[in-house]
Amino acid sequence: MVVRAAVVPAVGAPLEITGIELPDPGPGQLRVRLAAAGVCHSDLSLSNGTLSVPLPAVLGHEGAGTVTAVGEGVTEYAPGDTVVLNWAPSCGGCPACARGEVWLCAHALSGAANVHARRASDGAALHPGLNVAAFAEETVIPVSCVLPAPSGVPLTDAALLGCAVLTGYGAVHNSARVRPGETVAVFGVGGVGLAALQAARIAGASKIVAVDVSPEKEELARAAGATDYVVASDTTPRQIRALTGKQGVDVAVECVGRAVTIRAAWESTRRGGRTTVVGIGGKDQQVTFNALEIFHWGRTLTGCVYGDSDPARDLPVIGEHIRGGRFELSALVTERIALDGIPAAFENMVAGKGGRALVLF
């Protein structure tokens, strides 16, 4: 079966919108017809080589759709079921999974090395990017790479649950563990940052400061829950301390992945505060601290993978927030595009424009 998909042929090469030949679902697999897929910064990182995976590959890892066929042995799902794609399935048997830290599963991305499909024009083998190859009209993936779509949530909006929402919500609730009354700063008002702002509001934060290089994102940020907005500059930490009685925030969530923003987030937290780094930066982004400041400030700096989320545990909780009107998925989306619009969405991402672009199939 031939479907259209977005393929990255090599590191730094232009994205190709082309036909690919998908196989029938094999044992333990199912076929999903995509309703929508979110354009995430991680897809750009795969395209430019910041994240290394076998290429050429079909990109896209944040999506939702409808099961159209199942392979031998699949009993959990049937054609017609609606699902959210899970790009980082846990194996259940590695040391991280045994500790309950499924977001650190040692084998989560092992499927990226598999042959997923073939380019229709020349038969070249294609890999599944981050396991699920969501930038395509349809995909064939292991049953471990899907979860039931929450009831009452539009399937197109549900696509955002697979990465932006689980990551942003999880960064606040699972990693930083924001408590009612605490103050929070979120650096980077993209899809993940907007989800983190909403999560901070749900957590009961008393002050939520959004930080971004773009003044145009203030309205987006405030709609998501920000009480204050700071245009990023060399004085950002000083501005945030001024907004918090010269103390700094209790929690800073960094959603950019650059050394300068990680450092600014660290400096924006109070003595004993917590900084959670969600953004994925390159190896050249070096962050430095001196030994005296680490002692003096007593701050905590932590990494955060996939929002430290267990999707099977967290998706139903987020679904309840959506149905209760506490979390608005559509507030993350600033652009709805066709498959051909992904390269332009990447350009907007590099330029720091907008929130989440959503591919509608």
pLDDT digits (tens, 9 = 90+) for 91-143: 999 999 999 999 999 999 999 999 999 999 999 999 999 999 999 999 999 99
Of the chain, the end-to-end C-alpha distance in Å amounts to 17
pLDDT of 354: 82
**Could you read off the pLDDT of 271-302 as tens digits, one per residue?**
999 999 999 888 889 999 999 999 999 999 99
pLDDT band at 306 (very low <50, low <70, confident <90, very high): very high
Instruction: Give yes or no for a contact between 257 and 284, defined as CB atoms under 8 angstroms apart.
Output: no
Q: Does residue 12 surpass a pLDDT of 90?
A: no
Residue tagged 């080589």 (tokens): 49
pLDDT of 350: 86
**Angle (CA) 228 253 161, round 5°:** 100
Average pLDDT, the chain: 95
pLDDT of 349: 87
pLDDT of 60: 96
Regarding the domain with residue range 167-304, which homologous superfamily does it belong to in the CATH classification? NAD(P)-binding Rossmann-like Domain (3.40.50.720)
DSSP 21-86: EPPPP-TTEEEEEEEEEEE-HHHHHHHHTSS---SSEE---EEEEEEEEE-TT--S--TT-EEEE-
Q: Does residue 255 surpass a pLDDT of 90?
A: yes
pLDDT band at 46 (very low <50, low <70, confident <90, very high): confident
**Could you read off the pLDDT of 152-163 as tens digits, one per residue?**
999 999 999 999
Q: What is the mean pLDDT of residues 15-37?
A: 97
Under CATH, which architecture does the 2-162+328-360 domain have?
A: Alpha-Beta Complex (3.90)
pLDDT of 54: 92
Exposed e or buried b for every residue in 63-88, given b needs 16+ CB within 10 A?
bbbbbbbbbeebeebeeebbbbbbbb
pLDDT of 49: 83
Q: What is the mean pLDDT of residues 336-360?
A: 92
Report the SS3 class of residue 279.
coil
pLDDT of 52: 84
Distance, in Å, from the CA atom of 146 to the CA atom of 201, rounded to the nearest integer, reads 28
Q: What is the mean pLDDT of residues 206-229?
A: 96
Distance, in Å, from the CA atom of 41 to the CA atom of 356, rounded to the nearest integer, reads 9
DSSP 90-152: --S-SHHHHTT-GGG-TTTTGGGGS--EEETTT--EEB-TTTT--SBSEEEEEGGGEEEPPTT
Task: Give percent above pLDDT 70 in the chain.
Answer: 100
CB-CB neighbours of 292 under 10 Å? 8
Global pTM value? 0.94
In the chain, which segments carry CATH 3.40.50.720?
167-304
Taking Cα atoms as reference points, which of 100, 111, 90, 117 lies closest to residue 31?
Answer: 117
Q: What is the mean pLDDT of residues 170-198?
A: 97
Bridge partners of 147, per DSSP, are 84
In the chain, which segments carry CATH 3.90.180.10?
2-162+328-360
Q: Does residue 355 surpass a pLDDT of 90?
A: no
pLDDT of 15: 92
